[in-house]
Amino acid sequence: MLLLATSLLPASTYADEGGASDVQITPKISVRGPRGRGGGKPSAVATGVLGSSPPDSSRRWAVVIGISDYAGTSNDIRYADDDALDMLNTLTVVYGYKRENILLLISDYAVNNATKADIIAAIDWLRGVEAAGDEVIFFYSGHGARGRANDGDKEAVDEAIVPYECTSSSLIWDGDLRSMFNDFDTSRIIFIFDSCYAGGMTDLKATGRIIAMACSESGLSYEGDAWQNGQFTYYFVDEGMLQGLADRYDNIGGVPDVTVEEASDYAKAKCAYQTPAISDSFKNDLLP
């Protein structure tokens, strides 16, 4: 029998804190019990036709964020930091990223923590090292939030990632992220969000970009002992990419070549309780 445990931080009005109101911060849902069965084979995003080849490993950059231990104790979750470590491992082992080209942010670190200031500084670092034609990955696993924010877009309800502080004033809204990435030189950017309301991160859409999202705009994200991860990360990253189970098309002659689209198709077919989504503005399939 499936048992769920969840908590919602109560929605409140925070008009005097960063200009946002009706803010709801939502931890991932904790699943106690078996993994559950996914929805089967979804309509495929992957085409089997590769787009432009990835750049040399010296020109691939990533910021990988996983926050399980939030300020205090009442807001903690269990596996977001594991999600980040698995993403880091996959980028280096499977896709040949240089470790020094990846900035890992996990809560409770003395250096490279995951506070709002640290996350903004990490994006600034990305902006400082990337160049036209490079590849950039931004991975986030943790709480999600929604509310009414003055973040530069016209949405009635905005979505946000939740830094370590876990307060309304610390949230980084989708419009904020869009502004931070708008002046990047490269257009080859992959965003991956394993959080509640992740499907609302389509504000980041632009030519050449892919946004892989754990659930719909109004959906919740799940984690549990059966996966030892967030459910989406387990299927998208661990099984899909690291174990190569999402490799539907042999694009380059027997070499592991799981594209972002293949991983998305696989996760969507396997995930129970949530429906992953993707916004794909890359021409053909993207192999990191």
Tens of pLDDT, residue by residue over 278-288, are 999 999 999 99
- Check if the beta carbon of residue 209 is closer than 8 Å to that of residue 17: no
Q: Where are the domains of the chain?
A: 3-280
> What confidence tens digit (pLDDT) does each residue in 33-76 have?
767 777 666 668 999 999 999 999 999 999 999 999 999 888 89
Domain 3-280 has CATH 3.30.1370.30: no
Mutual orientation of helices 174-181 and 116-129 as an angle, nearest 10°? 30
Maximum CA extent, the chain: 57
Predicted local distance difference test score (pLDDT) of residue 207: 97
- Check if the beta carbon of residue 148 is closer than 8 Å to that of residue 20: yes
Return the bridge partners of 66, or none.
106, 141
> What confidence tens digit (pLDDT) does each residue in 156-214 have?
678 999 999 999 999 999 999 999 999 999 999 999 999 999 999 999 999 999 999 99
The span from the CA of 80 to the CA of 68, in Å, is: 5
Give 16's pLDDT tier (boundaries 50, 70, 90).
Answer: very low
Predicted local distance difference test score (pLDDT) of residue 11: 34
Q: Where are the beta strands (DSSP E) in 33-134?
A: 60-66, 102-106
Return the percentage of the chain with pLDDT > 70, whole number: 88
DSSP structure class, residue 94: T
Query: What mean pLDDT, rounded, does the chain reach?
Result: 88
**Cα–Cα nearest to 119, from 36, 79, 70, 63:** 63
